[in-house]
Amino acid sequence: MFDHRAELTRRHLLQGASAATAAAFLTTGETFAQARSETLLVVQELGPNSLDMQGVGSNQTVNGLSWNCYDRLMTYGAKTLADSTPSYDRMTLAPELAESWEVAPDGMSCTFKLRKDALFHDGTPVTAKDVKWSFDRAVKIGGFPTFQMSAGSLEKPEQFVVVDDHTFRVDYLRKDKMLLFNLAVVVPFVINSELAKKNATEQDPWAAAWLKNNEAGGGAYKVESWKPGSETILSRFDGWKSGPLPKIRRIIARDVPSSGTRRAMLERGDADLSTGFPPKDFDQLIKENKVKVVAVPIPNCLWYVALNTSKPPFDNPKLRQAVAWAMPYADIQSAAFYNRAVPMFGGTETVEKAVWPQPFPYVTNLDKAKALMAEAGFAQGLDTVLALDVGTATVGEPTAVLIQESLSKIGIRATIDKIPGANWRTTLNKKELPMALNRFSGWLDYPEYYFYWNFHGNNSIFNISAYKNPEMDAQIEKARFTTDPAEYDAAVKAFIALCIKDVPIVPLNQPFHDVAMPKNVAGYEFWFHREPDFRQFTKA
């Protein structure tokens, strides 16, 4: 016997089940879409090798991690470049952990009022004691962080004063126009000092070993997990008070060494952001227009060949000038960089503007180069070594080969020495390489800042040419501290002219910083440290 009531009940149940399944599917789909829209998947060639950018040997990617996971007292304001690209504004400071600040009437101190509701990631309130401990660490830990602080006349713990829990003062050693701007770079980040001190030792008072593997910040993002060489995951810190809460909740940064794989992931929509492709790839990406590419000439940055001025044979200025006239500039631009750089050759004979970088007057002129070789006493040529960082081989290797070929035409027989990236900075600091192909970028976009790092006789870190000239030092110091615009202008022109004459480096070009992303990703902002600020991103 067929029961109609039973059949109707069965149909009703099936329809209900189908509706529930569909509803569950839609809910899951909506949740997935929302999660995807709030997650940024970054594919990068090399991830952070540390969680502490003040640590010895920390790599470029650590700067970005520090920028997003730690606060500084101040940050930079924003502006729009000529091509409509959002960028930081080097001339404007903006609040971050400090709500406000005031320079004393005598110009010899600055007092900061901290946010009273600021918290570290573990819920501990941020106080002026944390700021002082962090600043003391930066000036005492040594190496690059300490030298970076000194570039803004921040040199002694005694300069950093806790007024009360939410008031902090910096006392000046001297009036330095870069001091406040230097507080907004990556180095002086604020650490949860009580947490760090619990993990410090007598031999390691600044908890360097612990902070290398643990994050103790209060920035907009916190480290959810870190697998060196594989993946870094950041999650939004919803208790962040130093700015608008980011739209992106989660950052997944995966290490994908193959540029071809990273490019394919971007073009398929499987990744949201990448950089570090060969210039040829960026050239193609722009032409194909499947993804968008943002390109900015890196301020205060050069690719150059450094010549060791302290040892034979390149202690001879005429020989250095010969090298400058022998460089295959145009070939490097087209064949190695695919013209994704601003040329730094063929400039005027006299320095007309107090700006940096600017093109040197040298061009490829082998006859001039040969004549200078003879004047320098090397008419028969010489044997030397041109060092190359393997980590920059994408553009570095073709550049080095082109230089090797061109120098051979004037009798300089250069062997290319490929040095592993992990050993590059240590090798440079020994000041023993006769020639080195290198790139340097100055965070503060001032000519005197670049020259202070690279050509000041007291600088033992980035002055890889081992260049010393009292006249150069005097002009750099004058530009750093003068308040007279005319005197500043004259000093900058003078030290650039000295560099052109003495040739401690041969500038090649000012490279672009290229970043690729799908068209539904917005909010990318160029920063001096060349790492993404995830706080600004949105996804359609």
pLDDT surpassing 90 at residue 104: yes
Q: How do residues 48-80 score in pLDDT, each as one tens digit?
A: 999 999 998 888 899 999 999 999 999 999 999
Q: How confident is the model at residue 425, as a pLDDT?
A: 84
- Mean pLDDT of all residues in 149-167: 97
Q: How do residues 210-225 score in pLDDT, each as one tens digit?
A: 999 999 999 999 999 9
pLDDT surpassing 50 at residue 183: yes
pLDDT surpassing 50 at residue 324: yes
8 Å CB contact between 227 and 156: no
Interatomic CA distance for residues 358 and 362, integer angstroms: 12
Calculate the average pLDDT of the chain: 92
Q: How confident is the model at residue 86, as a pLDDT?
A: 93
Q: How confident is the model at residue 421, as a pLDDT?
A: 81
Amino acid identity at 532: P
8 Å CB contact between 442 and 450: yes
pLDDT surpassing 50 at residue 26: no
pLDDT surpassing 70 at residue 3: no
Q: How do residues 463-489 score in pLDDT, each as one tens digit?
A: 999 999 999 999 999 999 999 999 999
pLDDT surpassing 50 at residue 237: yes
Q: How confident is the model at residue 13, as a pLDDT?
A: 38
Structure tokens at 475: 């002009």
Domain positions in the chain are: 60-255+518-539, 301-513
8 Å CB contact between 86 and 524: yes
pLDDT surpassing 70 at residue 336: yes
pLDDT band at residue 24 using 50, 70 and 90 as cut-offs: very low
Question: At the top level of CATH, which class does the domain 301-513 belong to?
Answer: alpha beta
Q: How confident is the model at residue 445, as a pLDDT?
A: 95
Q: What share of the chain has pLDDT > 70, as a percent?
A: 94
CA quadruple 13, 17, 18, 23: dihedral sign: positive
Q: How do residues 241-266 score in pLDDT, each as one tens digit?
A: 999 999 999 999 999 999 999 999 99
- Tokens 């100055």, residue located: 442
User: Do 60-255+518-539 and 301-513 fold alike per CATH?
Assistant: no
Global pTM reads 0.88
pLDDT surpassing 70 at residue 279: yes
Q: How confident is the model at residue 412, as a pLDDT?
A: 98
Q: How do residues 508-534 score in pLDDT, each as one tens digit?
A: 999 999 999 999 999 999 999 999 999
pLDDT surpassing 50 at residue 15: no
8 Å CB contact between 78 and 86: yes
pLDDT surpassing 80 at residue 34: no
Helix/strand/coil percentages in the chain, nearest 5: 35, 25, 40
State phi, psi for 20 to the nearest 5 degrees.
-65, -40
Q: How confident is the model at residue 276, as a pLDDT?
A: 87
Helix (H, G, I), strand (E, B) or coil at 531: coil
* CATH superfamily of the domain spanning 60-255+518-539: Periplasmic binding protein-like II (3.40.190.10)
Helix (H, G, I), strand (E, B) or coil at 232: strand
pLDDT surpassing 80 at residue 202: yes
pLDDT band at residue 126 using 50, 70 and 90 as cut-offs: very high
pLDDT band at residue 16 using 50, 70 and 90 as cut-offs: very low
- Mean pLDDT of all residues in 360-377: 98
